[in-house]
Structure 1
Amino acid sequence: MGDPRNSDGEANEKCFSNSEAQTESPVQVFSEPSAASRDQMETRLYKRRWLIVFLFSSYSLCNSYQWIQYGIINNIFMKFYNVDSFTIDWMSMIYMLTYIPLIFPVTWLLDKKGLRVVALAATALNCTGTWIKVASAKPNLFPVTFLGQVMCSVAQVFILGMPSRIASVWFGSNEVSTACSIGVFGNQLGIAIGFLVPPILVPNVEDMDELASHIVVMFYITAGVATFLFILVLIVFQERPALPPSQSQAAARLIPTESYSYSSSILRLLRNTPFIVLLISYGLNVGCFYAVGTLLNQMIIKHYPGEEVNAGRIGLTIVIAGMVGSLICGIWLDRTKTYKQTTLAVYVMSLVGLAVYAFTLDLGHLWVVFITAGALGFFMTGYLPLGFEFAVELTYPESEGTSSGLLNCSAQVFGIIFTICQGKLINTFSTLAGNLFLCAFLIIGTIITGFIKSELRRQKANQLAKTSAAVILDYGATTPINY
């Protein structure tokens, strides 16, 4: 037989016929003794998996950058469009609001049509939104720029729940947490750039024509990047590898498509008590992060007037530290599989980080704020992939997109509530009052996390498959298997 090749040009050495399998390699039988079943249960890792996850991270970056694009220079856009602070806050909160009703049809589409269709929809919507914004760089066109932001927020619905799905579909059992962290990494890097770049590209100048020229340059750069990524996804992005990367994915492929019911999957998840507890605790933590990110400019400017650029740099520090935290947590999970312990530890440190940040914000020293904000970001932003991966473990073999979508839906609901409430507290009382409000809910989330029953179903499935394979090999390739 010839040397079969996969899309990466590597030898696909496992795809042998029945007779070749008996002579050249041990028989790999896990669920049925037929040759067809053996082929289904074979696994392989493809080099393309890294291209897929990095491409996803890139278009996730482009979209998440726009989430905070307006909020980090809140005072400048207030002046340019002649609107109040709360209206500009909605340019961030619209990302949260659109997610809530749209996540269910989008996860249904993901389960029915797959990764490629969802990736194309995400990049097309994001590209369209950026070009609408290009046409909105005039003081009387706030409704147009808001429409563009709405389009980008809809694109986000097709992105946020994808990291765990891509990790499961493309990566091996010892890589999934790291791959999920890389997927989330792109989202976090986009937020970091969103904190850093707008204050640099759009300085706080008084001349409206000059300000408009700065804004339109920022919008053109974003539109160019979004267009390039849409074309790249159209050409490169692939649905799934020819062979599954892990035994849990191999088993998932054996489930007949017609037997899957999206509504039944949702009901099973809602009856999964450990997942529901995680759903609440995740929403509380990430909702706090959304509120802090949205209101960061207002908090910094309140204590350090004229420091718009440093407000962006502080936001950058938060997210960069969180990206490091995410990668470390992903690698740690792949090595230890201590999902609950790691999640709880990071949750506690998020609480400590926010409390320290709250009490040091008004000391008058920006370097102190940089340090405390970095510590906060390392744990609070680093928590994001932990929740995704813990949820997949608790809910296997349910769709990763569905569980991740529900987690993000919880985060958006709490994010809107916390942003509005913290904003009112900051304006009425002080930044300390607003941040302590969030600390109270992180205390509740920490307690709730401690009650999650850790049932690692995906790990059990992989271990069971390995055990079955070992038993079969012990009995020999030709030993019949009775069912």
Structure 2
Amino acid sequence: MNPLKTECTEKNEDAVSGSPLKVRVFKRRWLQLFLYALCSVCSSFQYPQFTIIGHIIIFRYYDVSILAVASTSIMLMVGYAVFLFPGLFLMERIGMKWTVVIGAAFTCLGAWIKVLSTAPDRFPVLLIGQGMVAISQVFIAPVPGKLAAFWFGKDQLALATAFGCYALHVGLTICFLTVPNFVRNHDDVAKIGIELSTIHWILAIACSIVTLAVLLFFQNEPSMPPSESRALQRYTHESFGKGFLVSLKMLVTKNRNFIILWNTYGLITGIFNSMPILLNPFFLTHFKNCEVDLGIINLLLCLLGTIGSIIIASILDKTKKFRVIAITVTTSSVLCEILFAGTLHLEIKWMVFVSISLFGIALISYSAIGFELCAEATYPESQALSTGILSISGQIYGAFVTPLLVKVIDVFGDTAAHVAIVVILSLGTLLTILDKIDLRRQRAEEHAARYEALSQGVSDKIDK
């Protein structure tokens, strides 16, 4: 008997019936997505926590170099790249629930260590706390694609992935909104320490609550698959499992489309990862003493970018025009960066706000689109493995691009840095155009639909 043809007795659920594969979409999928989002928010909040107030950290409180403060963000990229493969291997062994629990626990540990860093001579303690948060990213960042595939139906895959990815940007948004407004550049260093300590305590308590909630309520996978493609994937994996190393070799050596996508995603996402650090010199060079406004443009970059990107993800779910939408988004990123650079040099503040919002939509949209393209190009391999390897590209490129652009600003000025960003985004657009994505998951859904129609036709004939 086919193990996929199982019955489910659970009540009050949204069912997708009629398929010979017996798929079902559970209402509690939204709880799983919400819990993961909370975990991601707690982790991503700490990513630009110190670069956004770099002028205070550098010149007033810790008295360290610009590169030292930039390292609080760069180390998250480097840590992700170093620990990703052990993390993915562990994820395949222990399942999605315990992966997220470990990620939440490391985030919580890092937050509590930073509670101890509130003193001008304790910058190394702060770096240790950031190191714990960097490790947590290994267990959090690859999850959205896998969670969407495990819990959501085929008509909500891109939307669920988008919500999972954009939880990271919600954390960034909250950081940009709160930290610059709460931690001010006081003449009294002790007052800065009190405000930093308050932020650390609130964050540590919030992370503790989220970790407990994830431990108690987050689940690995429902009893029945939510889509035909997941049903076929689960059956294939259980029957013909190839193992972590074999799947890894298939992805990195024999899937040309995935390799091109890996570099494209790295170029586009690497620029986004560098923006929290670059916006400070970009903006304050043209608008002196506007630290609060700097927080606003970071907020607009993430918040409006996230809202617009969710709309694009919904369009992707309905149209399935993966390649067209990807090319449109990457091309838009180039045009929006040119607009952003131009408005900065014209020094018209409201136009800077508009241009950074459009730039955010283009950059953030590609994160979810890239995950969906990855799932299509690598099906039926594990989404955690494929999207984990994909997301490492953004960290690796970001770790190289960020210090490079900081150096360009120091030596040649912000105009040269904008030119470099345009070149990088243009290269990403060119690779997107050249990448002929093989929509394997879509074909699996179509084959399942044809099989369902054929089975229904045979059943009708038998009934007659």
Percent identity over paired residues: 32
Contact conserved, 2:330 with 2:366, CA < 8 A, in 1? yes
- Structure 1 distance, partners of 2:241, 2:186, is 61
> Which of the numbers 29, 36, 43 marks the counterpart of 1:63?
43
Confirm or deny that 1:259 pairs with 2:241.
yes
Structure 2 spans left out of the alignment, 5+ residues: 1-6
Residues 365-376 of structure 1 correspond to what in structure 2 (within 5 A)?
365-376=348-359
Cross-structure match for 1:363? 346
1:143-188 CA deviation, whole Å, 9 max, x = no partner? 0011001101111111111111100000001110010011112111
Contact conserved, 1:203 with 1:211, CA < 8 A, in 2? yes
Cross-structure match for 2:310? 327
1:405-448 CA deviation, whole Å, 9 max, x = no partner? 11111111110111111101111121111121111111111111
Q: For 2:435, what is the secondary structure of its paired residue?
A: coil
- Structure 1 distance, partners of 2:237, 2:151, is 20
1:123-142 CA deviation, whole Å, 9 max, x = no partner? 00000100000111100000
> Which of the numbers 367, 378, 382 marks the counterpart of 1:384?
367
Cross-structure match for 1:228? 209
What is the one-letter code of the residue matched to 2:178? V
What is the one-letter code of the residue matched to 1:10? N
1:221-254 CA deviation, whole Å, 9 max, x = no partner? 1111111100100111001111100011111121
Confirm or deny that 1:280 pairs with 2:263.
yes
Contact conserved, 1:297 with 1:312, CA < 8 A, in 2? no
Confirm or deny that 1:250 pairs with 2:252.
no
What is the one-letter code of the residue matched to 1:290? N
What is the one-letter code of the residue matched to 2:260? V
- Structure 2 distance, partners of 1:175, 1:45, is 10
1:256-299 CA deviation, whole Å, 9 max, x = no partner? 54733111111111211111111111110111111122221222
Cross-structure match for 1:140? 121
- Structure 2 distance, partners of 1:100, 1:53, is 25
- Structure 2 distance, partners of 1:286, 1:129, is 24
- Structure 1 distance, partners of 2:237, 2:306, is 38
Cross-structure match for 2:320? 337
> Which of the numbers 347, 352, 361 marks the counterpart of 2:335?
352
- Structure 2 distance, partners of 1:478, 1:111, is 44
> Which of the numbers 151, 154, 157 marks the counterpart of 1:170?
151
1:280-321 CA deviation, whole Å, 9 max, x = no partner? 111101111111222212222222222111111100001112
Cross-structure match for 1:22? none
Confirm or deny that 1:108 pairs with 2:89.
yes
> Cα 1:140–1:326, aligned 2, differ >3 Å: closer, same or farther?
same
- Structure 2 distance, partners of 1:354, 1:326, is 17
Cross-structure match for 1:75? 55
- Structure 2 distance, partners of 1:234, 1:338, is 38
CA-CA distance at 1:366 after TM superposition? 2.1
Q: For 2:120, what is the secondary structure of its paired residue?
A: coil
Contact conserved, 1:114 with 1:239, CA < 8 A, in 2? yes
- Normalization by structure 2: what TM-score? 0.94
- Structure 1 distance, partners of 2:267, 2:15, is 47
Cross-structure match for 1:202? 183
Confirm or deny that 1:216 pairs with 2:177.
no
Q: For 2:236, what is the secondary structure of its paired residue?
A: coil
Larger Rg: 1
Contact conserved, 2:13 with 2:26, CA < 8 A, in 1? no
Cross-structure match for 1:87? 68
- Structure 2 distance, partners of 1:293, 1:75, is 13
Contact conserved, 1:288 with 1:438, CA < 8 A, in 2? yes
- Structure 1 distance, partners of 2:148, 2:241, is 24
- Normalization by structure 1: what TM-score? 0.91
What is the one-letter code of the residue matched to 1:397? P
Contact conserved, 1:5 with 1:12, CA < 8 A, in 2? no
- Structure 1 distance, partners of 2:334, 2:379, is 29
- Structure 1 distance, partners of 2:314, 2:237, is 33
Confirm or deny that 1:179 pairs with 2:181.
no
Cross-structure match for 1:37? none
> Cα 1:63–1:13, aligned 2, differ >3 Å: closer, same or farther?
closer
CA-CA distance at 1:4 after TM superposition? 6.1
CA-CA distance at 1:106 after TM superposition? 1.2
CA-CA distance at 1:478 after TM superposition? 9.0
- Structure 2 distance, partners of 1:201, 1:311, is 14
What is the one-letter code of the residue matched to 1:443? S
CA-CA distance at 1:454 after TM superposition? 2.5
What is the one-letter code of the residue matched to 1:214? E
Runs of 4+ residues over 3 Å off in structure 1: 11-14, 477-480
> Which of the numbers 419, 424, 436 marks the counterpart of 2:402?
419
> Cα 1:477–1:107, aligned 2, differ >3 Å: closer, same or farther?
farther
> Which of the numbers 51, 59, 69 marks the counterpart of 2:31?
51
CA-atom RMSD in angstroms: 1.8
Aligned length: 454
> Cα 1:12–1:451, aligned 2, differ >3 Å: closer, same or farther?
closer
- Structure 2 distance, partners of 1:172, 1:203, is 47
CA-CA distance at 1:50 after TM superposition? 0.6
CA-CA distance at 1:403 after TM superposition? 1.4
What is the one-letter code of the residue matched to 2:245? S
Larger deviation, residues 102-111 vs 211-220: 102-111
CA-CA distance at 1:365 after TM superposition? 2.7
Q: For 1:68, what is the secondary structure of its paired residue?
A: coil
> Which of the numbers 442, 447, 458 marks the counterpart of 1:464?
447
Contact conserved, 2:13 with 2:25, CA < 8 A, in 1? no
Q: For 2:45, what is the secondary structure of its paired residue?
A: helix
> Cα 1:256–1:427, aligned 2, differ >3 Å: closer, same or farther?
closer
- Structure 2 distance, partners of 1:324, 1:12, is 26
CA-CA distance at 1:342 after TM superposition? 0.3
Contact conserved, 2:15 with 2:25, CA < 8 A, in 1? no
What is the one-letter code of the residue matched to 1:315? N
Contact conserved, 1:4 with 1:11, CA < 8 A, in 2? no
What is the one-letter code of the residue matched to 1:124? A
Contact conserved, 2:14 with 2:25, CA < 8 A, in 1? no
